[in-house]
Amino acid sequence: MKTPLALLASLTLAAGLASAAEPGEISQTDALGMNVVTWNLTKGTTTTVANAQVLSEFVGAHYYVWRDVRLGLVLQFSEQLAPEVTAGSPFRTFALLPQVGWNVWGPFFVAGVLTIAPFSNGGANWTLGVQAVGGAAWTVAKWVKLTAAVEVPYNFYDAQTVGLTPIVGASFRL
C-alpha cells in the first residue's frame, strides 16, 4: 500500500512543479459546477441539490502577472435542470467573476473571486458577492490540465447567502 501512495504523491508533486506558470502566460479555462448546498442567511433557509439542480458553466481567461500569480475573468452561465421550471426560462444566472489566483504548491491553487451578477434567480436581479476557491490542477499534456476545485460563494447583495460548489474542468495554456 505504501508504494502506490508514494507513487501518487511523487506524480502529483512532479506534475505541479513541471508546469509552473511564468509571467506573461495566458490560460483559458472551462469548468462545470453545481451548488450542493446554500444557506440563505437573510431568510433563514437551506437549499440543497434535493431541492434544485442548477448546473453552472464557467468559461474564462487568466493572465499570469508574476510566477504562479494570475488575474482572470470568468463568465458564469447557470441553468436549472430540475425541478422543471414551469414559468419563464430555466436560465438562472449570468455573472462576471473577476479574480486573483495563486498556484500555491505543486498542483494546488487558491483564488479570491468577486461576483458581479446582473442576472440571477432567473431574472434581471443583481447579485454581488465574493468567493473563495481552492483546488488542484493536474497536467495531462504539455498545455492541458484537468482541474477539481471547491468554491465557497458568499453573496451579500441582494440577499446574504453562503454556498458550497464542487467544480471540475480543464485549463489550456495558450
Q: Which three cell numbers stand for residue 95?
A: 455573472
pLDDT of residue 19: 57
- Per domain, the residue ranges of the chain are 2-173
pLDDT in tens, 116-155: 999 998 999 999 999 999 999 999 999 999 999 999 999 9
Q: What's residue 2's pLDDT? A: 52
Looking at residue 123, its pLDDT comes to: 92
β pairing state of 69-82 and 127-141: unpaired
* The pLDDT of residue 85: 87
pLDDT for res 17: 42
* CATH-assigned architecture of domain 2-173: Beta Barrel (2.40)
Residues of the chain with pLDDT under 70: 1-19
The 3-state DSSP class for residue 67 equals: coil
* Spatial distance between the Cα atoms of 115 and 133, rounded to a whole number of angstroms: 12
Long-range Cβ contact pairs of 128-133 (< 8 A, separation 24 or more):
128/155, 128/156, 128/157, 129/153, 129/154, 129/155, 129/156, 129/157, 129/161, 130/154, 130/156, 131/97, 133/99, 133/101, 133/109, 133/167
pLDDT the model gives residue 87: 82
pTM more than 0.85: yes
